Amino acid sequence: AQSVAQPEDQVNVAEGNPLTVKCTYSVSGNPYLFWYVQYPNRGLQFLLKYITGDNLVKGSYGFEAEFNKSQTSFHLKKPSALVSDSALYFCAVRDRGDYKLSFGAGTTVTVRA
Amino acid sequence: DAGITQSPRYKITETGRQVTLMCHQTWSHSYMFWYRQDLGHGLRLIYYSAAADITDKGEVPDGYVVSRSKTENFPLTLESATRSQTSVYFCASIRTSGDYNEQFFGPGTRLTVL
């Protein structure tokens, strides 16, 4: 079985401040980890993924995420948040041998000007 | 245009009616998925398909039926809609060769069951 936990329903930050969205996962084998973003009334857009290799992965729009195997975490980060980053963010995991994704409940990010 | 399309984008129906949500992808991806999105639950997998004529249940399949006669189409049918099936439904596909591993999502269908 695989699962994802996003412990924060909401994250509020001021524009220009660092942004972190937390994610922890559980999977029986080796994980493939993903972050997606959803803007209002839109579908999910892929941000970044961890497959193998460097634990720090960089993605779209200046986002990055760090894979930590010992803590089973994959936190999303952005050094300087923008108002336009306000959206709903989902972490997802799948086992390397499977194509089905399991999603977290989502974290709503609000960046205030 | 290439990508995943879903139709209709919005649908209002009544309890007990049959409803079919359509999903079409232009990439010829082998795997396709149907999710529902509900507040507090994220996205939950309803059904998925590994190829034409191969489908399997996901986490929340009750009340839904799927078929896949062609690689590019993956319709989802609610045989007798219930209010608990009011949700936003997303279709997705994934390329299973090469370095691509992320799922690509359609724009969603917002379904309201009265």
Encoding tokens for residue A113?
């000007």
| Cross-chain Cβ contact A49/B44 below 8 Å | no
| Cross-chain Cβ contact B104/A46 below 8 Å | yes
Which of A34, A43, A100 minimises the CB distance to B45?
Answer: A100
Provide, as residue numbers in chain A, all residues whose Cβ is less than 8 Å from the Cβ of B101.
Answer: 32, 49, 51
Distance CA A50, CA A68 (A): 11
Quick check: B41 contacting A, CB < 8 Å? Answer: yes
Q: Which pLDDT does position B100 carry in this prediction? A: 61
pLDDT of B5-57, one tens digit each?
999 999 999 999 999 999 999 988 999 999 999 988 889 999 999 999 999 99
Distance CA A29, CA B40 (A): 26
Quick check: A35 contacting B, CB < 8 Å? Answer: no
Q: Which of A95, A80, A85, A93 is closest to A23 using CA atoms?
A: A93
Q: Which pLDDT does position B40 carry in this prediction? A: 81
Q: Which pLDDT does position A88 carry in this prediction? A: 96
Quick check: B44 contacting A, CB < 8 Å? Answer: yes
Quick check: A56 contacting B, CB < 8 Å? Answer: no
Provide, as residue numbers in chain B, all residues whose Cβ is less than 8 Å from the Cβ of A44.
Answer: 43, 90, 92, 105
Range B56-67 average pLDDT: 96
Answer whether residue B83 shows pLDDT above 90: yes
3-state secondary structure of A84: helix
Calculate the alpha carbon distances from A4 to A1, A94, B45, B51 in Å. Answer: 11, 10, 14, 27
pLDDT of A7-63, one tens digit each?
999 999 999 999 999 999 999 888 899 999 999 888 899 999 998 888 999 999 999
| Cross-chain Cβ contact B48/A34 below 8 Å | no
Q: Which pLDDT does position B41 carry in this prediction? A: 84
Average pLDDT, chain B: 93
Positive or negative torsion for Cα A79, A85, A87, A92: negative
Quick check: A51 contacting B, CB < 8 Å? Answer: yes
